[in-house]
Structure 1
Amino acid sequence: MQEPLVFYTNPLSRSSIVHWMLEEVGAPYSMEIIEFGDAMKSPEYLAINPMGKVPALRHGDVVVTEAAAICAYLADAFPEAGLAPPPAERGDYYRWLFFSAGPVEMAASLKSTGFQPSPEQQVALGYGCYEHVIEALVSAVKGKRYIAGDNFSAADVYVGSHLRWGMNFGSLERRPEFETYCEGLAQRPAQQKVMAFIQQAMAEKEGAAN
């Protein structure tokens, strides 16, 4: 009997990354929506994620947090979905999945706060500078339908979500290469289903506020 999948989320957060991944996997799952504020800091939820944030995933007795880790876990837990390349072909898959979770996340976050690291600080921070990170990511998606070979993978879920989110909220600059790559991924039925869910949640929130 398949172990149950429980997805802890808030639709108005970057949990949409994991939501998209779950839809691509195609396995049944239940969703627990956690409201921002006290609910995320409750003892019950802190037992799931001590950071008190979403997303989180429980698969039977296994708990995984952090969107990139959840994407990688699901790809391995459900190999029949074909969301990870064969082990011998995972160089680009791991590289760009964790490049986006590490250097891209840090560079975009610091830039959005107005922090500009000095050359000495760039060495200490490890990612270098925002401009170098962006150019590396441009080179990764330029002229490609998928980021890690000829087939769609969990890396596309994570990188594509990160780019869409960053461009929409201004933490990442709009580049033609990014937009073309994201437009291709936006045609996937799983992503369209998740986007419709988010739009409905936003409409309900606006209705409740009026």
Structure 2
Amino acid sequence: MKLYSSPGACSTANHIALQWAGGEFKVEVVAREQRQSPEYLAINPTGQVPALRHGDFVLTQNAAILGYIADTWPEAQLAGDGSAVQRAEANRWLAFVNSDLHPAFKPVFGPARYIADEGQHEAVKAQARSHVRALFERANRQLEGRHWLAGFRSYADPYLYITLRWAQNCAIDLGGFDNLAAFKQRMEGDAGVQAALKAEGLSY
């Protein structure tokens, strides 16, 4: 199994999940400019990360890859204990990060995609930061009395952690969210997280 990942992108969540799964895998770090190369476009025609190759099977889309990792190594219990309830909880919080939280960053990363007037870009980014903070408030409430989003360690947790790194890099105020701060600290003390970040040239 081989993961194609760009440092600090959502694909790093897949890398952490692979570390947690405990199986054999390889990671190829793909710089942003390399994602438009003919070699990488042959793997993922969208030019995006992540991509996962397992034999002749190539899979894209972050949430799908996280589920595939969990199903390949079920003993790691990244989707829960095998019960429908725990898998639903893991999927609920994966969906929250993938469908709500991740897209909310897009106006911060690239306001020009939403409004052409450069004079309005900072206003767009400020509104987006406010929306992102509101979503993180929901995650902070969910983590009250819990170490993990779903109540157990799941594939939603690495994805949430990566978005917290984005928030820090984008100067999004998460002051007062003590549960999220404790979660981020726990993640950065985790051996699998540290191994993934080190392999991608990231600090923790």
8 Å CA contact 1:108, 1:171 repeated in 2: no
Query: Which residue of 1 is the match for residue 2 of structure 2?
Result: 6
What is the Cα deviation at residue 130 of structure 1? 4.1
Query: Which residue of 2 is the match for residue 126 of structure 1?
Result: none
The answer to whether 1:78 aligns with 2:73 is yes
Structure 1: distance between partners of 2:180 and 2:155: 17
- What runs of 5+ residues in structure 1 fail to find an aligned partner? 119-128, 203-210
Structure 1: distance between partners of 2:181 and 2:126: 27
The answer to whether 1:27 aligns with 2:18 is no
Structure 2: distance between partners of 1:75 and 1:69: 10
Query: Which residue of 2 is the match for residue 186 of structure 1?
Result: 188
8 Å CA contact 1:68, 1:158 repeated in 2: no
Query: Which residue of 2 is the match for residue 107 of structure 1?
Result: 104
Structure 1: distance between partners of 2:26 and 2:61: 18
- What runs of 5+ residues in structure 2 fail to find an aligned partner? 112-121
Q: TM-score, normalised by structure 1?
A: 0.75
Once the two structures are aligned, what percentage of the paired residues are identical? 29
8 Å CA contact 1:166, 1:173 repeated in 2: no
Q: CA RMSD in A?
A: 2.8
Structure 2: distance between partners of 1:25 and 1:195: 16
Deviations 1:147-205 (A, max 9, x none): 112x3111112222222x22321264323221111112222210111233344x78xxx
Superposition pairs for residues 6-155 of structure 1, below 5 Å? 6-11=2-7, 13-37=9-33, 39-85=34-80, 86=82, 87-111=84-108, 113=111, 114=122, 115=124, 129-130=131-132, 132-149=134-151, 151-155=152-156
What is the Cα deviation at residue 56 of structure 1? 1.0
8 Å CA contact 1:108, 1:172 repeated in 2: no
The one-letter code sitting in structure 2 at the alignment partner of 1:79 is P
Structure 1: distance between partners of 2:100 and 2:126: 14
Describe the SS at the equivalent of 1:73. Answer: helix
What is the Cα deviation at residue 12 of structure 1? 5.3
8 Å CA contact 1:57, 1:64 repeated in 2: yes
Distance 1:55 1:177, change over 3 A: same
8 Å CA contact 1:11, 1:33 repeated in 2: yes
**Size of the alignment, in residue pairs?**
186
Distance 1:59 1:109, change over 3 A: same
8 Å CA contact 1:17, 1:157 repeated in 2: yes
Structure 1: distance between partners of 2:198 and 2:106: 27
Q: TM-score, normalised by structure 2?
A: 0.77
Distance 1:109 1:19, change over 3 A: same
Query: Which residue of 1 is the match for residue 118 of structure 2?
Result: none
The one-letter code sitting in structure 2 at the alignment partner of 1:51 is T
Structure 2: distance between partners of 1:172 and 1:8: 28
Query: Which residue of 2 is the match for residue 168 of structure 1?
Result: 168
Structure 2: distance between partners of 1:12 and 1:97: 18
8 Å CA contact 2:43, 2:51 repeated in 1: yes
Deviations 1:14-36 (A, max 9, x none): 43212111111111112223333
